[in-house]
Amino acid sequence: MHRFLNRQSLREQRGLLRSLLIYHGIPWRHRQLVNFYRQFIGPDDLCFDIGAHVGNRVRAWRALDATVVAVEPQPVCFRFLHRWYGNDPRV
């Protein structure tokens, strides 16, 4: 069982890394999201990201100075979001 958990953890970490590269590793993607959401979201708006995954929308909405409620059921993604945004009082 212990051996399976290590393999599963490695698989989760690889999946997280892949998601980070896809959603945060392309430089212009963040700018595109901010420019798109700017037409709907302004400073001090309250936004809900249900299924936040690795937080690319959270990041874009925070760039627009919105307050964000992020919900993520996957433990590996939740831990990442908590590490990245855990000290931000507006997330």
Tell me how far apart the alpha carbons of residues 58 and 54 are, in angstroms, rounded to a whole number: 9
pLDDT of residue 10: 85
pLDDT tens-digit map of 3-23: 545 666 888 889 999 999 999
What's the burial of 13, exposed, middle or buried (CB within 10 Å: 0-12/13-18/19+)?
exposed
Residue 53, pLDDT above cutoff 90: yes
Which pLDDT score is estimated for 8? 65
CA-CA-CA-CA dihedral for 77, 20, 82, 61, to nearest 10: -110
Q: For residue range 27-44, what is the model confidence (pLDDT) as tens digits?
A: 899 999 999 999 999 999
Is 61:46 a contact under the CB 8 Å cutoff?
no
Q: How high is the pLDDT of residue 1? A: 42
Q: For 57-87, write each residue's pLDDT tens digit.
A: 999 999 999 999 999 999 999 999 999 999 9
